[in-house]
């Protein structure tokens, strides 16, 4: 791992187009040899895009492996590049809503697109935040990752085992909660609601935390700019009347938003994750 980290550090000095093309080459290799992840990706795409041909799904799967491998190599830039270089590469639309965040408790809702770490850096260039963090198995990698994610401003990172109470306290102290809402962590604290054409165990935490704190929910998504020019980070308008009186409908609403953004850049959503791993009682597994 130390050798891999040293490799990433060396790479970050190179132009982004060199890193990007190297990442895409690695992604093409991984698509061929990572059969299990390829199977998961194609299964997800079949469930979510039944209207596509198999050739179309395979093309997007290959592009996804390239985008994901590229994003891993580009983390060196996020962890070690100068602030000036990051500001050149990251275009923020329309801008980090600092005043809006300061006005009331805020959930920055960041679904699992390959550029999610870029979205986090874009926020931390302007504001501190709090988030949930899973300790990495390798101590060297864990140290670098933590340092890289907090090098511009202090952040508060909580483990999932701590629950929501420390998050709510941090939000009430003025820190936005950078939340990744769309992983399958099982049926606990989740609702079975549609995601594309299939029911998915979906965390109700965004709606529950928004209801408990009166927080506004501002989605943020990072995607690639063309021709290896960098990334664009989009902050969407805060959701109106969210979560409302129906937490299940609020959870459906979140999934519909993620679906729409995934259709815009289908190769950049995190299809290698077993999004449909947890099934409703009586339903067979899909993987």
How does pLDDT run across 140-152, given as a tens digit for each residue? 887 887 787 778 8
Amino acid 153: pLDDT: 85
Q: At 80, list the tokens.
A: 């070690």
The answer, yes or no, to whether the previous bond of 94 is cis (omega within 30 of 0) is yes
- Summarize the confidence of residues 78-91 as an average pLDDT: 96
* Distance (Å) of CA 269 to CA 45, 63, 197: 11, 11, 16
Q: At 95, list the tokens.
A: 């801008």
Q: For residue 128, which of 174, 78, 91 has the smallest C-alpha distance?
A: 174
- Between CA 13 and CA 110 the distance in angstroms is 28
249 and 169 Cβ atoms separated by less than 8 Å: no
Amino acid 56: pLDDT: 97
Contacts of 15 (CB under 8 A, 6+ apart): 228
* Per-residue pLDDT tens over the stretch 115-125: 999 999 999 99
Amino acid 81: pLDDT: 95
Amino acid 215: pLDDT: 96
CB atoms within 10 A of CB 30: 17
pTM of the model: 0.93
Angle at 112 between CA 188 and CA 4, to 5 degrees: 110
205 and 164 Cβ atoms separated by less than 8 Å: yes
Amino acid 103: pLDDT: 93
- Between CA 182 and CA 121 the distance in angstroms is 20
The average confidence (pLDDT) of the chain is 94
């Amino acid at each position: 791992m130390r050798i891999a980290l040293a490799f990433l550090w060396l790479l970050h000095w190179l132009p982004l187009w060199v890193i990007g093309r190297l990442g895409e080459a690695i992604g093409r290799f991984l698509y061929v040899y990572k059969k299990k992840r390829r199977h998961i990706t194609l299964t997800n795409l079949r469930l979510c895009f039944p209207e596509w041909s198999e050739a179309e799904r395979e093309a997007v799967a290959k592009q996804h492996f390239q985008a994901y491998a590229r994003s891993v190599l580009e983390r060196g830039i996020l962890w070690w590049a100068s602030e000036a270089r990051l500001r050149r590469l990251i275009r923020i639309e329309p801008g980090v809503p600092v005043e809006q965040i300061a006005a009331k408790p805020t959930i920055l809702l960041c679904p699992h697109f390959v550029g999610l770490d870029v979205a986090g850096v874009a926020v931390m260039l302007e504001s501190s935040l709090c988030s949930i963090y899973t300790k990495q198995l390798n101590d060297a990698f864990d140290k670098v990752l933590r340092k890289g994610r907090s090098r511009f401003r202090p952040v508060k990172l909580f483990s999932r085992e701590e629950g929501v109470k420390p998050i709510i306290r941090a939000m009430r102290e003025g820190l936005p909660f950078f939340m990744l809402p769309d992983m399958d962590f099982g049926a606990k604290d989740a609702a079975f609601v549609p995601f594309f054409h299939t029911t998915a165990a979906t965390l109700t935490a965004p709606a529950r935390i928004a209801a408990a704190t009166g927080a506004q929910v501002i989605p943020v998504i990072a995607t690639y700019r063309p021709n290896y020019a960098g990334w664009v980070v989009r902050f969407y308008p805060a959701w109106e009347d969210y979560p409302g009186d129906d937490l299940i409908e609020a959870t459906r609403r979140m999934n519909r938003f993620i679906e729409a953004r995934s259709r815009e850049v289908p190769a950049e959503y995190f299809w290698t994750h077993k999004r449909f791993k947890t099934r409703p009682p009586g339903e067979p597994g899909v993987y």
